[in-house]
Structure 1
Amino acid sequence: MQHKDQVLTNKEQRTILKRLLSYTKNHIKSLLVAFFLLIVATAAELVGPILIKIFIDDYLTPRQFPFEPLLWLAIFYIGLHLSSVVINYFQAYMFQKISLKLVQELRVDVFTNVERQGLKFFDQTPAGALISRITNDTESIKEFYLTVLANFVQNILFLIGIFIAMFYLNPTLALFCIVLLPLIFGLMQWYRKISSRLYADMSEKLSVLNSKMNETIQGMSIVQMFRQERRLRKEFSEVNEEHLQAGMKTMKLDGLLLRPAVDLISIMALILILSFFGITSFIGPVEIGVLYAFVNYIDRFFEPVNQMMMRLSLFQQAIVSGGRVFKLMDYKEYAPLQQGEYSPSIHNGEIEFKDVSFSYDGKSDVLRNISFTVKNGETVALVGHTGSGKSSIINVLMRFYELDRGQITIDGQPLETFSNKELRENIGLVLQDPFLYTGTISSNIRLNRDHLTDQQLKDAAQFVRANEFIEKLPNTYQAEVTERGSTFSSGQRQLLSFARTIVSNPKVLILDEATANVDTETEEAIQDTLKRMANGRTTIAIAHRLSTIKDADQIIVLHKGEIMEKGTHMELLQLKGLYHKMYLLQKGAELEQAQL
C-alpha cells in the first residue's frame, strides 16, 4: 500500500465531499429538524436591523415616541434575540450530537475494513500510519461535521437572508454589493487550491511521526540495550521539525488569505456603501435608518464570510484526511475467503501438501514444490536454517495467504473450501512470540469464547502446567495482565498462549518454535504434555532444537524453500546430510556450553 499522499484534484475533492456527506443519510430526520431550527434562528437575527431601521426612520427622526407601539417594538426586538439564543443552543446541540455519531460510524467502518485485510497488507503498512488514519484523520473529519458543515449552512443561509433584506431596503445598492460575491468565491477557490497541497504534506508528516514513535516505543528494550536513544531522538526531532515546517506553511497561508484578505474586501464594500449614500445625498434626502441597516448588514455580511474563511482550513484538512481514510477503506487486499458453496468439516485433520509454491511479493518463491502428508495422530517436524520456509508453510496452511501454485488438502478436501470459522476452531496455533492482551489471565485464555467454562480454563492451564505459576498469583486466574503481558516472563507468556490453544481442543496442532522461550525444565514437562496431546491429533512442529523432535513420526528438512530430506530422526542421521550436520553443530554447541 502506498502511503505518500498526493495532491487531490478538484474532482477528487468533490468525490470525497460527497462521500463524507453520504454518512448523513441515516440521520436525515434529525438533520432536517436541526436545519429548521437553524433557519428560524437565522431569520430572528436578520429581522433585528430592520426593527432598528423602523425605530430610526419612523420614530426617532420625526421625533414621535408613542408609548404602546414602541413598547411592542421593544418587546418584539428583545423576544427575537432571546428566542434566537435558545434556538441556537438546541440546533448547535443537535448538530454536535449528529456529528459525533457520524464520526463514530466512520471510525467503525474504517477499523472494520482494516480488520478484514490479509496479513500481506500489515506486512507492508506501518502500524503508526494506520493508527494515524484511524485516530488523527477521523478527528479532522469530525471537525468537518461538528464545525464546518453546520457553520457553512448557517452562514450561507445568513448571507442569503442579508441579500434579501438589502434588496428590500435598496435594490440598486444591493445589486452593487453582489459584485463582492465573485471576489469572495475566487478567494475561497484560490485558498483551497493552495491549502490542499500544504495539508496533504502536513498529514503525511504526521503519519511518519506516528510511525517513528510507534516503532521506537515497541522496540524500547532494543533501543536502550544498544544505546540508540540519541540517534532515535535525532531522527524523531528531524521528522518533528518537518511536521512543524509543514504546519508553519499552512499558518502563513491562513494568516494571508483568510481574515486579512476578507477584511480588505469588507473595507472596499464599506467605501462603496458610504460613497453611494454620499452621492445620493446631493440628489435628495437620505434615510438614516436605511444607512444604518445597510452598514449593519455589510458588517454582518462579512462576519459569516470571515467565519467560513476561517473554517476553510478545517474544511481542507477534513477533505485531505477524508481522502486518506477513504483510501484505506477502499483497500481490498482482504484475507483469503472460502471458495465455493460447499462447506466441509474437519474430522481427522489429515493434511497433504501437493507441489505447493508460494511467494510474498509475487516474484521470489519462498516455497517451491513442497509435498508431504501428515496423517491423523502423526507428528511432523519442520527443521531448517532461518529463511528456509518453515513459517511460510504454517502461513499458507493457516490460510493467512493465498497459494501461488499447488494445493493443500485437509481430510482430502481443498483448503480453500473450508470456512475460516472451521479452520480457526479446529487448528490450534502456538507462536514463538505469544501476544497477550490487557485484561486478566482468564480473559486471555478464554479470548471471548463465552461457551468455555471456568473449569475448562483451569483444566487447560493444568494440562500445560501453567497453573503452577497462576495459582501463586494474588488473584490467580483474575490476575491483571498488562499490555503484551510485560509483567510475566517469556516462559509464562508462552504457557498462557499454550493454554489458550489447548482449551478449544483442536484437531490439528501447529507449534511454531513454541518452546523456544521456555526453560529446559518446563520444556521437558511440555514435551510430555505434547505427547499426550498428539494422541489422535495431527501435529506440525517447527523446531529449532533438534533434541525436542527426536520422537517425531517424520522430520522434514527445508533449505531455501525446498524439501531437502525426509525421514525419522535415526534415518536422517544415517543419511549424513544436512540434518546430520545441523545435529552435530547443535550437539557441539550444547557440549561446549555444558563445559562452561
Structure 2
Amino acid sequence: MSENNESVWAKSIPLKEQFRVVTTLMKTAKPFRNMFFVAIAIGGVFALLQAAAPRVIAYYMTTYLHQGNHVTIQIMWCFALLVAAIRICQAITDGLNAYYFTVAAEYALEDIRVKVFGKLHTLGMRFFDQVPAGSLVTRVNNDTASLADFWRFFMELTFVVMSMIGAYIGMLTVSVKATLLMLVVVPFIVTSVVVYQRFSSSLFRHMRERLSHLNAKIAESITGIDVIQEFYQEDRFKTAFAKVNGEYFNARFKMIKADALLLEPMIDLMLGGAMVLVLWYFGVLSMTTAVSAGVIYAFTTYLNNIFSPLENVMNLFSPFQEGLVSGYRVLGILDDDTYAPAQNPGADKQITQGKIEFKHVNFSYDGQHPILKDLTFTANPGDTVALVGHTGSGKSSTINTLMRFYDFQSGEILLDGQDIRDIDPVDLRQKMGLVLQEPFMFYGDVASNIRMYDDTITDDQIIKAAAFVGADTFIDELDGQYHAKVQEGGSGFSAGEKQLISFARTIVKDPKILILDEATANVDTETEVLIQHSLRKMRQNRTTIAIAHRLSTIKDANLILVLDHGEVVEHGTHDTLLAQRGRYYDLYRLQGMSGDDMAFD
C-alpha cells in the first residue's frame, strides 16, 4: 500500500462516519430484515424465560424452604418440571435466535461481497493505479469477512438489551428499592464501553493497515516470483516480509494486551461492585426485616444475567471495532466513483464505420502533469495509424483515452463523427478490439478464453476465429483441443500461443476498430512471422491504432505519429518520414544499425 493510501485509511473515523457506516450496513441487510426481526422476537421470548426462571426458584425457596412449609413430592416435581420446561424453552429459543441471526448475517455478507466485487469491475484504471492489489484482496476477502463480527456484535447487543430489560423487570418484582440502587451501575457500564471503544479503535485501524501491507507483500512476491528468483532476491524479500509480518504481529499483540488489561477486568470490577451493593443493601434490610435466601438468590442471578451477556458483548467489541473499520474500507469502494469514466446520460450512439478523430485532446493522470498535449489526428475507416516514441511519450495514454479506461480533460474524441461519450458503452466495447502486449488468460478452457463467457458466440465462430488468426494449428494438437484446460494466467502456454488466442478472442467479436499494443514484442522470430501474418489479416477492412515498438512492423501504415512528451513532433507515412531525416529517421536508422528490431518502449 502506498503511503498516501495508508494515511487515508489510518485517519481516525469521525463519529458521524461511524454512524454512516452502521446505518449503511443496516440498509444492506434490508432484504433480509424479516429474518432479523424473527431473531429479535425470539430473543425477546428468551429474555422473558430467563427472567422467569430465577423468580420461580426464589418463590420455591422462600415459600417452601425458608418458611418451613411442608414440601410434598408433588410440589417438588411440579417446580422441578416447571424449571426444566423453562430451561428447555430457553435452550430452544437461544438456538433459534442464533440461527436466524447468523443466517441473515451470512446472506447480508454474501450480498455485500458480490456488490464490492462487481463495483471493482466498474471502476476506472486510475483507481487500480493508486490502490495495490493486495489491499483490494484484503478488502474483498478479509474486510467483508470481518463484517460477520459486526453482525455478531449486534446479535449479542440485542440479546444484552433484552436480557437487561428482563433482568430489571425481574428485580423490580423482588425489590423496587434494590433495583433502583442497581441503576447506579449503568453509568459505569456506559463509561467503560466508551473508554474501551476510544482506546481500541485506533489499535484496530492500525492492525488492519498492517494486514493490508502483509497481503500486498504476499501478492507482490507471488506475482514477481520469477524475477525474484532470477536476481537471487529470495533473502531480501524474506527479510522484508519478516519486517511487515512483525509489524502485524506487534499490532495484534497490542490489541491482545488491551483486551487482557481493560476488557475482562472492567466487567469483573463492575459485577463485584454490584454484588457488594446487593449484599450491603439486603444486609442492612435484614436488621429490621426478614430477608429470605430466595430473594438474594434471585437478585444475584439477575445480576449475572446482566453482566454475563455484557461480558460477551465487550468481548465482541474488539471484533466489532474491526468490523466497523472493515465496513468503512468496504464502503470506500462502494462509494468510490471518482475514477470511473462517465458516458453522457442517455448515451446510445453506435459505431458503424470506425472513423477515429482526436481533436486537441489534453490528458493528465493526476490533473497536474500533462501527458497528452493538444493531440490531433484522424484515422479514416480501414486506415492504420501507428504511434511511435520512447517510453513516456504518450502512446499508451492515447489508447487509454480511446478505450475509455481514463477520461481526458479537454478536447474531443469522435467516433464516426460522434462524441465518444455519447457512444453506448456496450457497443463501444463490442466494436473496439484491444490486443495487449502481454495477453492474460483466465482459468477455464481454450474455448472460454476465446468466447470470454459470451454465450452468444457459438463453437463454430470460435473455431473460425482461431483458424483466421492461425491459432488452430497448435490448438488442434492440445489434449482436448478447444476444451483443453487453461490454468490461471495461461501457464503452460508460450507467449506466442497466448498471443494468438488473444487474437482469436478479439477477432471473434468482429470489431470495427482494432487497437494493438505491439503484439510481437515478446515472441521469437519464427512466431513473429506467424503473428505478423495474422495481424495483416486482422487489419483488413478495420481501422487500426497500433503502438509500434519495432518500426519494421509499421512500414505499410497509412499514418505514423511520432510522439514526444505527449506531443506529435512528426507525422506522415514511412517513406515520407524517412525522407525528412528527422526523429523517425534516427530511430529507424538506429534499429537498422543494431542489426535487430530494437524495442524502444
- TM-score of the aligned structures, taking structure 2 as reference length: 0.95
Partner of 1:566: 571
Alignment partners' CA distance in 2, 1:284 and 1:375? 104
| CA–CA separation in structure 2 for the residues paired with 1:270 and 1:591 | 89
Cα displacement (A) at 1:138: 1.2
Return the offset for 1:577.
1.1
Q: For residue 27 of structure 1, report the CA deviation from its aligned partner.
A: 2.1
Q: What does residue range 39-438 of structure 1 map to in structure 2 within 5 Å?
A: 39-61=44-66, 62-145=68-151, 147-341=152-346, 343-438=348-443
Unpaired runs of 5+ residues, structure 2, are: none
Displacement after TM superposition at 1:522 (Å): 2.6
Q: Does 2:586 match 1:581?
A: yes
| 1:524 equivalent in alignment to 2:519 | no
CA distance in 2, matches of 1:509, 1:352: 15
Q: Tell me the amino acid that sits aligned with residue 182 of structure 2.
A: C
Task: Read off the aligned partner of 2:54 and give its amino acid letter.
Answer: P
Aligned with 1:482 (options 477, 483, 487): 487
Identity, in percent, stands at 41
Partner Cα distance (2:296, 2:405) in 1: 74
Query: 1:328 Cα shift?
Result: 2.2
Query: In 2, are the aligned partners of 1:494 and 1:517 still within 8 Å (CA)?
Result: no
Distance 1:490 1:501 in 2: 17
C-alpha distance in 1, partners of 2:17/2:362?
A: 40
- Report the equivalent of 1:503: 508
Query: Which segment is superposed worse, 326-335 or 154-163?
Result: 326-335
Letter in structure 2 aligned against 1:257: L
Secondary structure at 1:283 match in 2: coil
What CA RMSD, in Å, does the superposition of the two structures yield over aligned residues?
1.7
What per-residue deviation string (whole Å, max 9, x for no partner) do you get for residues 348-370 of structure 1?
A: 11111112221111112211122
* Corresponding letter in the other structure for 1:112: G
SS at match of 2:220: helix
In structure 2, C-alpha distance between the alignment counterparts of 1:178 and 1:382, rounded to whole Å: 78
Q: Distance in 2 between matches of 1:267 and 1:77?
A: 27
Q: What is the Cα deviation at residue 592 of structure 1?
A: 11
Question: Aligned equivalents of 2:369 and 2:306: distance in 1?
Answer: 65
1:164 is aligned with what amino acid? Answer: I
By how many angstroms is 1:93 displaced? 1.0
Residue 113 of structure 1 deviates from its aligned partner by 2.4
Give the drift of 1:513: 0.7
Q: Distance in 2 between matches of 1:292 and 1:405?
A: 79
CA distance in 2, matches of 1:219, 1:244: 25
How far did residue 289 of structure 1 move?
A: 1.1
Q: Distance in 1 between matches of 2:420 and 2:22?
A: 43
Once residues 467 and 536 of structure 1 are traced to their aligned partners in structure 2, the CA distance between those partners, rounded to angstroms, is 23
Q: CA offsets, 1:529-552, max 9 Å, x none?
A: 333332221111111111111122
Q: Which residue of 2 aligns with 1:2?
A: 5
Deviations 1:72-109 (A, max 9, x none): 22221111111211222222111111010111122122
Aligned residue type for 1:213: I
Does structure 1 retain, via aligned residues, the 8 Å contact 2:347–2:424? no
2:37 counterpart residue number: 32
Partner SS state of residue 116, structure 1: coil
Where does structure 1 lack aligned partners over 5 or more consecutive residues? none
Q: Which amino acid aligns with 2:93?
A: I
Alignment CA distance shift 1:211-1:53 (3 Å): same
User: Which residue, 467, 470, 474 being the options, matches 2:475?
Assistant: 470
For the residues of structure 2 that align with 1:140 and 1:44, how far apart are their CA atoms? 32
For 2:384 and 2:582, the matched residues in 1 are separated by 22
Deviates more, 1:460-469 or 1:58-67: 58-67
How far 1:591 moved relative to its partner?
Answer: 6.1
Kindly indicate whether the alpha-carbon contact (under 8 Å) linking 1:38 and 1:91 is maintained by their aligned counterparts in 2. Answer: yes
Q: SS in structure 1 opposite 2:449?
A: helix
The structure-2 alpha-carbon separation of the partners of 1:340 and 1:83, relative to structure 1 and needing over 3 Å to count, comes to: closer
**C-alpha distance in 2, partners of 1:588/1:348?**
40
